[in-house]
Chains A and B, each alone.
Chain A
Amino acid sequence: MTHGLDAYAYLKSPIHRWEPRCKLIALLALIFAFAFVQQLILLPAMVLVTLSYYAISRLPGAFLLKRLRYPGFFLAAIAVLLPFNVGNIVIWQLGFLALRQEGLLALILIVTRFLCILTVGLILFGTAPFLTSIKAMRSLGLPSVLADMMLLSYRYIEQFGEDLARMQTAMRLRGFRANKFSRRNLTVLASLAGSLLVRSYEQSQQVYQAMILRGYGCVPSRRHQLFKIHASDLIGLLVTCVVALGFVVAEIILTNA
């Protein structure tokens, strides 16, 4: 796939070798534990754990930095809004600009949680082929309708992306320039979206026929034979769950202290 999420799935590291179901449960537990954290004192530990997992995964730093480009807009927006607009205690002032303590602390909490969760998510889905991750979710009990839809959608996103690019090129070659908002432009762009939907609908009928010919809905599931769990996988799962639980317990203790 052109988005390159699983471009480094071929690397060899303990995280890459981790059985996909154990990895999914463990790293999702870590993500939810991070989301639970409200106390600033826990943030350094959170960063340390995240960096440790990233180092173990041997994913290149450039991979993480490249993935931060899009969320960077969100980070920039809250970095501008929160410290200057939220809170009462002014810690620095320059003219009408007042840096406020509550806003600054909120910014640190949000940005750290955001970066840690995003990085763990990248470790989770960047260290295995995406289809393996979907199959792992399916074998963990994801409803078959959702799993089938996910696999099929994933298969066709790139193709429809290319179809869209081709149709947009054809529109430009015919002189269409969408540089202002007008009823005509909106109708033309709606027709473009409609054409994409019609193409996908027509193709889906062929896909269904092909799936029926290959026995879709009749073949017994062999999902339990897909993955094999070793002792090291369980140890990794246990250690990560203990770390995740540690964050939750520490948060509860610190909140009640």
Chain B
Amino acid sequence: MHIPDGILPASIIVAGYATTGGVTWYSLRQIKRDKNPQENIPKASLLTAAFFVASWIHIPVPPVSVHLILNGLLGTILGYYALPAILIGLFFQAVMFQHGGLSTLGVNATMFGIPAIVAYHLFQLRHKVGKNNRVWTGVFAFLAGAGGLGVSVVIFFFLIVTNIPANIDAAVERNVIYGLVLAHIPLMFIEGAFTAAVALFLMRVKPELLKP
């Protein structure tokens, strides 16, 4: 679901880098407010590498298998470190596997990064409910995982369909976007269920990982 080089016009590419620059600046500012940001950097870095590798896990959905985006899960665990983590992960994917692109790095980072921050805040809402138990952790992790992917999917198809360099009727464009987003609802469900399962696993095995 990464936008490759060559598809988007320069104006969107520049806007993508500008948005990513702004959100990264804000995230780094939040990170510097940590009690000990130096201690968190190795933690966030190794988790970034682990997330990068975890995205290679394929979920069987016969007749194919899908790999997950995990940006919602990244947000739930890394908080504001999710944005640098996503930026780095996308950069590695672009240069190591030619997945995504260098010119579209800003757009892709915005597309996955902002939903990850939204997912983080969604997951934090479980504290507002006042019941930090397994059920609410699972429910909010599901919402974070499904919501993180859902927002990314909407941004992805909006950018792709509206920026193909050929004239398409506006009504057709709108219907195509609706159709493609609706087709991804089962994947949002899988992503949400996987995020909830990982969050519940961590709650049982290493609960401090859920407290960024």
Chain A residues close to B by CB (< 8 Å): 1, 3, 5, 28, 31-32, 34-36, 38, 67-68, 70-71, 74, 82, 86-88, 102-103, 105-106, 109-118, 121-122, 124-125, 130, 143, 145-146, 148-157, 159-161, 163-164, 178-181, 183, 185-187, 189-194, 196-201, 203-205, 207-208, 211, 216-217
Contact = CB atoms under 8 A, between A and B. Distances in A.
Given A117-B5, A153-B92, A196-B54, A146 B84 contact: yes
Given A68-B98, A157-B92, A198 B206 contact: yes
Contacts of B53: 157, 160-161, 163-164, 196
Interface residues on B, range: 35 or more
Interface in B155-182: 164-168
Contact of A32 (B43, B57, B87, B103): B103
B188 to A, nearest CB: 14
Given A28-B102, A82-B164, 12 more contacts: A31-B102, A32-B10, A70-B98, A121-B94, A145-B37, A153-B45, A153-B49, A161-B56, A196-B50, A196-B53, A198-B209, A204-B43
B10 A197 contact: no
A67 B166 contact: no
Contacts of A103: 166
A196 B73 CA distance: 13
B4 to A, nearest CB: 5
Given A35-B13, A191-B201, A152 B46 contact: yes
A145 B98 contact: no
Interface in B163-212: 164-168, 190, 193-194, 197-198, 201-202, 205-206, 209
B77 A114 contact: no
A81 to B, nearest CB: 9
Interface centre among A1, A116, A187, A194 (most CB of B within 10 A): A194
Nearest to B99: A70
Given A106-B166, A114-B4, A189-B59, A152 B42 contact: yes
Contacts of B129: none
B69 interface: no
B123 interface: no
Interface of B: 4-10, 13, 24, 28, 31, 37-39, 41-54, 56-62, 65, 70, 77, 84-85, 87-89, 91-92, 94-99, 101-103, 164-168, 190, 193-194, 197-198, 201-202, 205-206, 209
A203 B48 CA distance: 13
A197 B54 contact: yes
B192 to A, nearest CB: 11
10 contacts: A28-B102, A82-B166, A86-B166, A121-B95, A148-B45, A159-B49, A160-B53, A197-B50, A198-B205, A208-B42
A114 B92 contact: no
Contact of B38 (A146, A194, A216): A216
Interface centre among B99, B102, B206 (most CB of A within 10 A): B102
Contacts of B193: 183, 186
Given A32-B10, A161-B56, A181-B62, A150 B165 contact: no
